[in-house]
Amino acid sequence: MNQRIAETFARLRSAPPRGLAAPEQRDGGQRCGLVAFVTAGDPDRARAGRILRAVDAGGADVIEVGVPFSDPLADGPIIQRASERALAAGMTLAATLDVIAEERRAVRAPIVLFTYANPLVRMGLTRFATRAAEAGVDGVLLVDVPLEEAAPFHDVLCAAGLDPICLVSPTTSDDRLRRSARSGRGFLYAISRFGVTGVRDQIAREAQALVRRIREQTTMPVAVGFGLSRPEHVSQVSRWADAAVVGSALVAEVAKHADSPALEARVTAFVRWLRNGNEPTA
């Protein structure tokens, strides 16, 4: 397991709860982590690094950086539009790695790339893994590579010290949960509901049942995502998972304040609000 990711989840599991969830409300005793997603290069390349620092300053435990891609499968409309803006501004996989390399020393949190196979294949998998490791990437979540075809990707990533993060969903069988835990590193990303990413009012009922099934198969940390957008969602997830993933809501906040000189401050405040539930976003 990548050192930064391992240390982050070890710290979370040993830390007392904070924020909205009281200790008596939780199945476990650890503090729930926050995985915050941003699209690389949105709203533009010039501010991409400053946004990473702003998310880190807000207290994100893991930063998930989406590589802009023209043909997404899992991204909802908010993140699709962010990718379109970033691509139009000239953002690429190589440029994303350059931004991370520039900011790595200033960013405390582990960085996980959220990407599709095509950009990696175009760059060359070994070259990508080497460049990503040198840039300070800690893990890679390949959205469109099924478990049966993942071994060549995972072997190269692990050899470079990068954690391949596996996705599991409510339809994943117990056997595939076990295989995903054996194949992946770092943490399991549990999709809370069917469909694509997006902002939702409530967490899908299937999410908690999925996490319980995962707990029966592995001790690997579990992060729950898709549809989470508010502190109450993070609090709810904190009762049974190790981390909550918030993506579309944060990307929408970036888009909302893209023309403001206070963009980075807004991003930091939004992440703090997600973590603590006591700081306004406007």
Question: Which of the residues are catalytic?
Answer: 64, 75
**CA 199 to mean position of chain CA atoms:** 15
Where do the H-state alpha helices sit in the chain?
A: 3-14, 48-57, 77-88, 93-103, 117-123, 125-135, 151-159, 174-183, 206-217, 231-237, 248-256, 263-276
Tokens of 213: 């099934």
Give every CB contact of residue 168 below 8 A, 6+ residues apart in sequence.
176, 177, 180, 188, 189, 190, 191, 210, 214
- Cα separation, 135 vs 51, whole angstroms: 17
CB atoms within 10 A of CB 185: 23
Q: In 3-state terms, what secondary structure has residue 216?
A: helix
CB atoms within 10 A of CB 277: 15
**Which residue's structure tokens are 């049966």?**
148
Query: Side chain identity at 208, as an amino acid letter?
Result: Q
